[in-house]
Amino acid sequence: MTTPRRLLSNTAVVIAGSAAQRVLTFGLTVLLARGLGSQQFGVYAFVVAYMFIFSFLVDMGFERVISREVARQPERAGQLLGTGFIIRGALSVVAAALAIGIGSLLHLPALTWWCILIAAVGMPLSIEILVRSFFQARFEMHYTYLLTLPGNVAFLILAAVVIRLGGGLLPIFGAGLVVGVMTLTVMLWVALPKIGVVWRVNTDLMRYLWRESWELGVVILIFLVAIRLDQLLLFWLRGPSELAQYAVAVKVAEALNLIPESIMVTVFPLLAATEFSAPQRFRRVYELTIRYLIVLVLPLALLITLERDLVIRSLFGPGYASGSGALAILAWWMFFSYTGAVYLGLMVVRSQQRVIAVVSLLALAINLALNLLWIPRWGAAGAAAANLVSSSVSFGLFCVAPQTGGIMRACWGEAVRPAIAIALTAGVVALLPPNVGVFAAVPLYTAILLLSGGVDRQDWEMARTLWRPARGGS
């Protein structure tokens, strides 16, 4: 087990690096939304959502399984990642061909199709995620950010130059492709000597990876379709301008997912490493992580709801003001995003992909039906509401499933006090003048939470204990 200092250092690096990366990505979104206008920005959002679906074929669950195995068997990293590079490289070519072919069959507008073509050419660059997995398993995420952040900065600058010169979407996608090639080249130059890649196909290893990953691959497909289906349907049913209104709200919610994603980069390998060697620590890591993510996300959702108009107008301009309703709904959807980052990660560690797949498929069917019913009526707000309802159903099904009920009971237990605290806070804030209520919300919520025992001094001692080196079975 790694030292506590190394774990804490890795977590701090991940939070700082992810924050910088997310700020740059969000800055790019604001730049494109303001610089391109709602029509072209809607096309951009559609192409990103469309290509996101095809990223399933590039992964198919292999990356998460390889990441788990590298954490458990670091001595086999070269063999595991070499096989992963070969698999992912081949699958990316297939995915790119399908994306281009299906795009042609859909008879999309010329601009949309050319953007898809450029994005598809860049799909093989996604092998860089395996390099990230290697650094994640070794708790050396500083390498990832040192190698990728310069590329994020370069793309933001290039996009700003393109817009300043009056360029449109095509040169922006072209700039992204060039920066992606340069970033991957640098990452491989640094990482390959450390990994010691074995460039040989091991058929037994491939069979094992496929056996472990195919169910997770189904889950990933369902997940990718679920989180981008609404944007594709908005494009078809209401047009690119309405999609642009929804896309800015989605970008705000996704930007705020920085916290659970950053924490899980360190927590996931820790869970994988302690599941059998230190079961008590395994349970405590899960409970502590889920508790504080819930404590954090609920007041964040309340503040966004209260200031939704200000958030949208100040970031993206008055032209996107109608996206504020969708943002308020997605703010509460973040509860499921924050908690799901932990409990779904734990289910993957426990190889419960089949349960995840069944539940996710049912939730996807509900999501599709609600999107088809609500998007024609309410546009962006209808799509956001469909996501909130389907995520609630998914959460409930995991709670009643025998294989995952224990995990979810812990989640429910940690959510009770924060939920009561935020309900009381919202009730008091509703009685106050708007300007006063916004500033009073967080102090009031914190006071209620402390008085109710939702957070406790013992948590800090528990946290310190969790990061100490593991001792057999402790």
| DSSP per-residue letters across 80-107 | HHHHHHHHHHHHHHHHHHHHHHHHHHTT
C-alpha distances in angstroms, 415 versus 21, 295, 331? 29, 8, 17
The end-to-end CA distance of the chain, in Å, is 13
Residues 6+ apart with CB under 8 A from 387: 227, 230, 329, 330, 333, 367
Q: 37-64 in b/e burial notation, b at 16+ Cβ within 10 A?
A: ebebbbbbbbbebbbbbbbbbbbbbbbb
Please tell me the predicted confidence (pLDDT) of residue 10. Answer: 64
**Residue ranges of the chain with per-residue pLDDT less than 70:** 1-11, 56, 59-61, 63, 71, 137-139, 214-216, 456-474
Please tell me the predicted confidence (pLDDT) of residue 383. Answer: 95
Nearest CA-CA partner of 173 in 123, 243, 233, 106: 123
Contact in structure between 49 and 231 (CB atoms under 8 Å): yes
Contact in structure between 269 and 346 (CB atoms under 8 Å): no
**Residue 48 three-state SS:** helix
Distance of CA 73 to the CA centre of its chain: 26
Contact in structure between 432 and 440 (CB atoms under 8 Å): yes
Reading the block at residue 353, the tokens are: 């992909």
Please tell me the predicted confidence (pLDDT) of residue 6. Answer: 60
How many DSSP H helices and E strands does the chain contain? 18, 0
| Half-sphere CA count of 450, side-chain side, radius 13 A | 7
Residues 6+ apart with CB under 8 A from 315: 30, 248, 252
Reading the block at residue 451, the tokens are: 């008085």
Please tell me the predicted confidence (pLDDT) of residue 321. Answer: 93
Contact in structure between 213 and 61 (CB atoms under 8 Å): yes
Reading the block at residue 460, the tokens are: 């800090």
Under DSSP, the state recorded for 126 is G
Reading the block at residue 102, the tokens are: 């299906």
The amino acid at 342: V
